[in-house]
Chains A and B, each alone.
Chain A
């Protein structure tokens, strides 16, 4: 029996005249770990950002736990759907996201950053939110930084706070949008170790990354995006070791050249 958390059908995203995502279908099973790879500008981040509606799809449907989100604007069924803010906020509370740029709140301490969602969005009592937030921070190894402001932390530590902030919402799905791309090389490891530990817990995770080595160990499934569509998809071995399609091979080859 398959347990699909997210089902994407015919996803399109246009920014003005720019057609970035051109019809993506993807089913995400509960507990599945998916790595999304592809060249810059291929549309991989945009696809991820549509899953928690940081970007509103121009066309197509996204289904969460069997429920198609938004409502039809037109009778013929095509085009953009209409989404109510309340529904989008609910989805975003259930689908967590970690950004390349951390996006921590600089006027709040580490602990306050992590407590903010549970308190304001989930209306949790303060004490419960505090201990829950402290647990998440312990999980990412920052139990001794609770009262520090983000500006005092290294990039790797900031990104771990951002991960704890997403975890504090108890999300069903976690999205990582190039979480290590803005980090100094020596800080990448600590963040990847945290992501790996989360993967071991059996969480449903999608990761957009350029760290192909990590993607190989992390992912149940690797999805290669090119020109706004899923170009090749399969297990890490299938896509990264034995890619069938020329475009995937070329992308991987270029990567190896660049890495050495």
Chain B
């Protein structure tokens, strides 16, 4: 195979890639933050006794977990505006799809965590007069977070990579800029290799920190 690698295009295109990084980080931060909060709310609905609360929550989770993210993205950009009667920008459509998808996964992680807390913890808190919401906030969630940290880390990593699909809606994030550069310079191998490395540099510190935090928390027991 004689292919002459030429990474000068990467150097030339780097400012553009960095602009893409900013958009990727924005997508990730918004979708993960709101996804976590929404996921928590959905998990509470999911474990509620009342069917009018838990049925919609189950439906939501199953729809978003069992359909391709790519279709969800396309759907929110092209189909949702028809339902809504209002055009969405590609960024907003991507944020919507990624947030709801993340919320569905996080809801299941939270639910698993909350259910794994022994009944005795609820009883211990109840016996000193704590309300259900106090117990959730002070006793259950802190323990759940610790147990769920690996699962949330996975979700965060997964989401960081899935944001690249937003390039199909022409959201000018990292992957989109990479593809743009590729078609401009006809050097897709160099550019995609560089883009992959940028993703690695972006994501790895997060998983490293999470692993350290996990070890520190585990050292307490």
Contacts and interface: CB of A to CB of B under 8 A. Distances in A.
B132 A85 contact: yes
A97 interface: yes
Contact of B134 (A96, A99, A121, A149): A121
Nearest to A103: B124
A203 interface: no
A107 B130 contact: no
Given A107-B142, A107-B146, A149-B221, A169 B128 contact: yes
Q: Is the interface of B mostly helix, strand, loop or mixed?
A: helix
Chain B: number of interface residues, binned into ranges: 20 to 34
B221 A121 contact: no
B129 A89 contact: yes
A105 B131 contact: no
B33 interface: no
Size class of the A contact interface (CB-based, 8 Å): 20 to 34
A92 B127 contact: yes
A99 B127 contact: yes
Given A85-B131, A103-B120, A105-B121, A92 B126 contact: yes
B124 A107 contact: no
B124 A99 contact: yes
A87 B212 CA distance: 44
Interface string B123-155: 111111111101000110011001000000000
A39 interface: no
A92 B120 contact: no
A93 interface: yes
B215 interface: no
B127 A97 contact: yes
B138 A116 contact: yes
Interface string A144-166: 00000101000000000010011
Interface string A163-181: 0011001000000000000
A138 interface: no
A40 interface: no
B128 A116 contact: yes
B130 A89 contact: yes
Most A-side CB within 10 Å, residue of B124, B130, B134 = B124
A52 B134 CA distance: 18
Contacts of A122: 129
Interface of B: 120-121, 123-132, 134, 138-139, 142-143, 146, 220-221
What 7 A-B pairs have minimum CB-CB distances, sorted nearest first?
A93-B129, A103-B124, A117-B128, A103-B120, A97-B127, A121-B129, A92-B129
